Amino acid sequence: MEWLDNFWSTYNTLVYSIGVHALLALSIWLTLACGLLSMANAAFMGIGAYVSALLSLNAGWPFAAVLVAAGVAPALVALIIGIPTLRLSGVYLAMATLAFGEVVRITVLNLEITGGPEGLNGIPQSTQGWHIVAILAFVVYGLTRMQRSRVGRAFESIREDDVAASLMGIDVARYKLFAFVLGAAMAGVAGGLNAHFTFFISPREYGFENAVDILTMAVLGGTGSLVGPMLGAAILTLLPELLRFLNEFRGIFNGIVLVLVVLFLPKGIWEPRRIKALFARGGGK
């Protein structure tokens, strides 16, 4: 088992990153599932990361409590900003969440308690591999249950046509708020987990690019199912490692992938429903 130890010591951060990114991709998947494009998930991740790091560093809370706080804090923020914001439709919502993300980033950059542009250092490395696996498994199970229920159908109907959905007796505003708040909590927990294995956090990690990265993972993998965003997260975490030889040009890859996927794989890489439908129709129209 020596090779396993070697493998683990070389690649454990990479594996951790995949898990955390998968959690983030699922958090934006949840909002996309009911037709909301939220660009605030990186900011929610940041709120979770900073709240948890500060609680660990200054208050000495146990890790479990810290993680709960990492989820609850951004969820509360999402609840407060969500009630007025979610009235906005489509692009306006994306813009408002983007503006909110900027406010969070600039605030963190300028506050004393958050360490300003230098960020926070020396966060205890409490995150274990199994924490990430357990939380991810819990989230995936919960979302799977949700997807196969009246809640999942309500999300889908809101995504397709929210007026028609409301005329089916669905409380559209409440479901949207629910998705937004739950997504924020998931992103916050991901932020808390991340802060407690990278040892160091700074405002740079929670800006617009990061919101875009999260979105790219979900769109690349496909938002038709839960597998898609996780697959997208794994690919986009591994690829930069494989593309090291591209050096400074690595970023180009992300951009081109996003464009190509939107153009040629509008449903993402993983699109089970079409496949299933294809079989149901006996091999196509």
Where on the chain is the footprint of other proteins (CB under 8 A)? 37, 84-85, 87-92, 94-96, 98-100, 102-103, 106-107, 109-110, 142, 145-146, 148-151, 153-154, 156-157, 160-161, 163-172, 208-209, 212, 215-216, 219, 247-252, 254-259, 262-263, 266, 273, 277, 280-281, 285
Q: Which is nearer to other proteins, 66 or 217 (CB)?
A: 217
Q: Which is nearer to other proteins, 167 or 238 (CB)?
A: 167
- For 35, residues 6+ apart whose C-beta sits below 8 A from its C-beta are 158, 159, 160, 162
Instruction: Tell how far CA 261 is from the center of its chain.
Output: 19
Q: Which is nearer to other proteins, 215 or 234 (CB)?
A: 215
Q: Which is nearer to other proteins, 110 or 125 (CB)?
A: 110
- State how far the Cα of 189 lies from the Cα of 28, in Å rounded to an integer: 13
Helix, coil or strand: residue 6: helix
Q: Which is nearer to other proteins, 62 or 142 (CB)?
A: 142
CB of 94 to other proteins, least distance (A): 7
Tokens of 204: 């740079």
Helix, coil or strand: residue 235: helix
Half-sphere exposure of 248 (CA within 13 A, CB side): 0
CB of 193 to other proteins, least distance (A): 21
Backbone phi, psi, residue 39, to 5°: -100, 15
CB of 59 to other proteins, least distance (A): 26
Q: Which is nearer to other proteins, 116 or 124 (CB)?
A: 116
CB of 75 to other proteins, least distance (A): 15
Helix, coil or strand: residue 92: helix
CB of 241 to other proteins, least distance (A): 17
CB of 108 to other proteins, least distance (A): 10
Half-sphere exposure of 87 (CA within 13 A, CB side): 3
Q: Which is nearer to other proteins, 51 or 170 (CB)?
A: 170
- State how far the Cα of 80 lies from the Cα of 149, in Å rounded to an integer: 27
Helix, coil or strand: residue 265: coil
CB of 180 to other proteins, least distance (A): 15
Q: Which is nearer to other proteins, 25 or 123 (CB)?
A: 25
Give the C-alpha distances (Å, rounded to integers) separating 80 from 38, 77, 86, 177, 210. 15, 5, 11, 10, 23
CB of 167 to other proteins, least distance (A): 5
According to DSSP, the residues that pair with 201 across neighbouring strands are 120
- For 99, residues 6+ apart whose C-beta sits below 8 A from its C-beta are none
